[in-house]
A and B are shown apart, each in its own frame.
Chain A
Amino acid sequence: MITRLNLVRQFRLDLPFQQDASGRFLPWIIALMVYLAAMGGVGLIWLGDTLSQWDASLASALTLQLPADTSQPRIDMALGALKQTKGVVSAHLLQPDETTKLLQPWLGNSVATATLPLPRLVDVQIDPHATIDYTTLRQQLDSIIPNAQLDNNRTWLGGVRAFALRIEGVITTGVIVVTALIVTIIIFTARIGLAIHRSVIELLHLLGARDDYIARQFQIHALSLGLRGGVIGGIAAALTVVILGPAGHVLELPVPIATYGIFDWRLWLLLLVAGLAAGGVAMATARITVLRQLARMP
């Protein structure tokens, strides 16, 4: 009972915020910001997942490319050398029809691949935790088959990773900008609120209210608006992912969040954090702004 009464007292607002226009438009603006931030967060998760998947699949695979005219004994020698290398799990020579199948997406079915001088490919599986001396291995293979190319995919993956990092930077900057916008909007709203309710604030001061008492009124109001905006923005972001998830599945995107959709716990954690953060940022901003402004009043 006492707790309930204390709560009632905690949330009783002496200032007539319900008459302010800010209460009508601010939750929607915050909702838009939270939506953008949440989608940015989804994008970060998506990028991270994609990179991890590629990393995991490519870190344990090498490709050995041999000239088309390499003789079978030399191929066998190269396979033998690979299999004796520490850290190599298996080495599988792709048959011509397998190579043709790999090229089909680019060349189509109409091209007679048998007439093309296609290189022979060896799919090499390695232990991702093993340390392989690629320089020595390359020299060894080159001594068996001149012009053999061992590709460990690192160069390509490094480029992709650098690109992904840049995208992550852009998204993170976007989230920071959105947060800064929320802070700016709350600062202006709090200042407008102080101007609108100046007479009541003066009255509260004259009745013995501390700045903290008045600031609490503003911060509770801001928390309420921020959480309302956070919930609306969070639900909109969840709906977007729920709708896009099956689409990603149909398109066979290699994206876990698109595949798992609403069952991905990180999505819910992200939306919860985004919603709460909107309320928290709004509350803290309102408190600091109001306390600073009140300190200038007599």
Chain B
Amino acid sequence: MVRLENVGKRYGTDAEILRDVSLKLDAGGFYFLTGVSGAGKTTLLKLIYLAEPPTRGLVSLFDTDASKADRATHTALRRRIGIVFQDFRLVDHLSVRDNVALPLRIAGAPEREIRDNVPELLGWMGLEGKLDFPPATLSGGEQQRVAIARAIVRRPDLLIADEPTGNVDDEIAMLLVRVFERINKLGTTVLIATHDVAFARQFSHRRYHIDRGVLSLASEGAVADAAPVE
């Protein structure tokens, strides 16, 4: 599903942030990506969700070489990915409902589908009373749930979450991972980036670790992942 081979990334003439990164994520898998702040986690995620191109190497998504793909193909690939940003990146002037509906509207989904599915999903996320609130009026935890709802509303093939547990206590963090596991059970491949190695170790999922731009497999994991989506 996701394949990176000998990927390097540098900005301008600075030293490489990512060095010879090779990574393979299978369909239906659940993965952690750990590393301290500045190790290159977010940069690696940006390459995967096509926010930036690699300086060298191969980035392949859903069996498509992204570095050779045109703009339209990039758009089509992005539509198969759900992203939970570290800073949530909710659109301030839109309501919670419209923020979550955004990926559906962009994809041209019928309004009836949006009207039915978005409130149901937000209800599942415990936000049924906040549908018409602007994001700025919500707590950090609520905003994070809105961001997760937006990322999964289109049932993506790949869900990427950048530090979703960074600003919440252990109990909430555990609940969030359980939510991601439920999404994974539905067939979505999940990749969670966190600086908290100890936290990731509590779960028996495959874990990659990145240190100063060099990626390594830290743990094979023991939990049986969801079956690949048919």
B103–A207 contact, CB under 8 A? Answer: yes
- Asked if A213 meets B93 with Cβ closer than 8 Å, knowing A202-B51, A208-B75, the reply is no
Task: Say yes or no: B107 contacts A208, CB within 8 Å.
Answer: yes
Segment touching B, from A11-19, A44-52, A146-154, A230-238:
A11-19
Contact A205 B78 (CB under 8 A): yes
Q: Given contacts A12-B105, A199-B89, A298-B51, is CB(A206)–CB(B111) below 8 Å?
A: no
Tell whether A207 pairs with B102 under 8 Å between CB atoms, given A202-B51, A298-B51.
yes
- Please name all residues of chain A whose beta carbon is closer than 8 Å to the beta carbon of B52 when the two chains form the complex: 298
Query: B73-114, CB under 8 A of A: which get 1 and which 0?
Result: 001101100010000010111100010001101110001100
CB distance from B216 to the nearest CB of A (A): 27
For residue B49, CB closer than 8 A to chain A, the reply is: yes
Interface size class of A (residues with CB under 8 A): 20 to 34
Q: B224 at interface (Cβ–Cβ under 8 A)?
A: no
* Most interface-central of B53, B75, B83 (chain A CB within 10 A): B75
Alpha-carbon distance A79/B126, docked complex (angstroms): 105
On chain A, the residues within 8 Å of B83 by CB distance are 206-207
A14-B94, A19-B93, A204-B106 known; A8 vs B111 contact (CB < 8 Å): yes
Answer whether residue A56 sits at the interface, using C-beta atoms and an 8 A cutoff: no
Residues of chain A with a CB closer than 8 A to B53's CB: 298
Residues of chain B within 8 A of A8, CB atoms compared = 111
With a cutoff of 8 Å between Cβ atoms, the chain A residues found around residue B49 in the complex are: 206
The reply to whether A203 and B75 form a contact with Cβ atoms under 8 Å apart is: no
Q: A199-B89, A203-B91, A298-B53 are in contact. Are A210 and B111 (CB under 8 A)?
A: no
Say whether B24 faces chain A, with CB atoms less than 8 Å apart.
Answer: no
Report 7 cross-chain contacts, Cβ distance below 8 Å, ordered by A residue. Answer: A12-B98, A14-B105, A16-B93, A206-B49, A206-B50, A206-B83, A213-B106
